Amino acid sequence: MAGPQYSKSGRGPPPLFDLRKTMESTPKSRRAWIAGGVLFAMVAGYLAVSAGRGGKGPQKGPPPAPVLAAQSETADVPVTLAAIGSVQARASVAIKSRVDGHLLEAHFREGQTVAKDDLLLRIDPRPFAAQLKQAEAALARDRAQLAKAKADLSRYGSLTEKGFASRQKYEEAQAAVDSLAATIRADEAAVELARLQLEYTTIRAPIGGRAGSLLVAPGNLVKAGDAQPLVVINETRPVYVSFTLPEQHLNEIRRRMAEGGIAVDVRPSEDRGQPVAGVVDFVNNAVDPATGTIGLRATIANQDERLLPGQFVTVRVTMNTLKGAVVVPSQAIQNSQKGQYVYVVKAATLKDGRGEVEQRYIKPGPAFESKTVVAEGVAAGETVIVEGQMRLQPGGRVVLRSDKAK
């Protein structure tokens, strides 16, 4: 059977868009031959392109994983113990009335910082002023009677010596003088008590500190010794911070206290600011057997009143300092069933920000801020992976990126 006819011009086969017509006009026995030729040409073209690219062919294995890395370094790391503490006022006074009366006015604002002896409250003084006058009048009356009794005693004494008065009259005059003298002492005490009662109508701050809410509004009647205070004043400069530490640190605590004290840093919960410095000034005299802890108390100057009584704080106690320790970012450390490890970029393979990683199990030490001491497993100056570890495995390839590439 004759094959496909070419044009008489001799310029080669018809254009590609005529291939379908050519196939339709070709017998079935030759169609398979043509299809095989086309497939062979495609494979040959692909191999030619691969050869033009250097003959390497397709790359094997996954692409390098992008990771964030950092250098291990040496630093002086303070060894600290962390604890949860509570802030306590160095002194707290619940102000109550010492007399019954009508509360007239308050001379402070709620939440105001007051000094010792500042005027706080006034109770109606008029009833107590009247009582004072009454006591003073009784004292004056009895003093006048005593003067008369003393004069009578003097006369009876002279008459008795001359025999014009009986001894009994003299003794009665003496008893009257003694009785009035005792009455005057009672009157003087009554005057002093009335004067105190009058003074109690003016309530002054017994300590310096911050005043709380006024719990009884002016206009109300108050009673002496009432269960509810009028206001509470807390001394907030300085304040105490109480916390506990495990008893196994007791010997070190004693040694540090003997050397001059233990420094602490205190930071309120959820506060990202700078910690507040203080010094431990009290160690309890017994270990709590239920918890195995020892109680400590630190004094904080608190000049800016950043800490308030009742507040929970994080306390860091500086015990000693590790000199020249190898540290890595804490986020570089991963956990496994065999222990903690880090991924380290092999120095020999690191080139142009690419390299291979190896898994190293480490012996971690204390942590401080965002760094963790590595006692064994990593040397200073090595490159450790701090982000992207989930995509890695030992021997894997990585490409290092900067923080800006996040």
Q: Which CATH number fits domain 97-232: 2.40.50.100, 3.40.1130.10, 3.40.50.2000, 3.30.450.30?
A: 2.40.50.100
The Cα-based distances of 26 to 13, 30, 353, 354 in angstroms read 14, 7, 60, 58
Judge whether residue 164 has pLDDT over 50. yes
**Contact status, residue 364 vs residue 377, Cβ threshold 8 Å:** no
What is the average per-residue pLDDT within 176-202?
Answer: 95
The percent helix, strand, coil of the chain (3-state, each to 5) is 30, 35, 30
Judge whether residue 144 has pLDDT over 60. yes
**Whole-angstrom Cα distance, residue 173 to residue 151?**
9
Q: What is the pLDDT of residues 357-396, one digit of tens each?
A: 999 999 998 888 889 999 999 999 999 999 988 888 888 8
What is the average per-residue pLDDT within 204-216?
Answer: 95
CATH number of 65-78+324-405: 2.40.420.20
**Whole-angstrom Cα distance, residue 322 to residue 324?**
7
Pick from 123, 119, 77, 129: which is nearest to 97 by CA? 123
Q: Which helix (H) or strand (E) holds 25?
A: helix 19-25
For residue 203, count other CB atoms closer than 10 A to its CB: 23
Give the rounded percent of residues in the chain with a pLDDT score beyond 90: 57
**Cβ-based neighbours of 266, under 8 Å, separated by 6 or more:** 85, 241, 275, 276, 277, 278, 298, 300, 307, 313, 314, 315, 316
DSSP state of 378: -
Judge whether residue 58 has pLDDT over 70. no
Give the rounded percent of residues in the chain with a pLDDT score beyond 70: 84
Amino acid, res. 303: Q
Q: The dihedral of CA 142, 144, 149, 154: what is its sign?
A: positive
Q: Which CATH number fits domain 81-90+237-320: 3.90.45.10, 1.10.540.10, 2.40.30.170, 3.40.50.2300?
A: 2.40.30.170
Pick from 297, 286, 316: which is nearest to 242 by CA? 297
**Whole-angstrom Cα distance, residue 236 to residue 140?**
49
The CATH 2.40.30.170 domain(s) of the chain lie at 81-90+237-320
Residue with tokens 């006074």: 93
Pick from 312, 309, 333, 389: which is nearest to 357 by CA? 389
Task: Report residue 1's pLDDT band, with 50, 70 and 90 as the boundaries.
Answer: very low
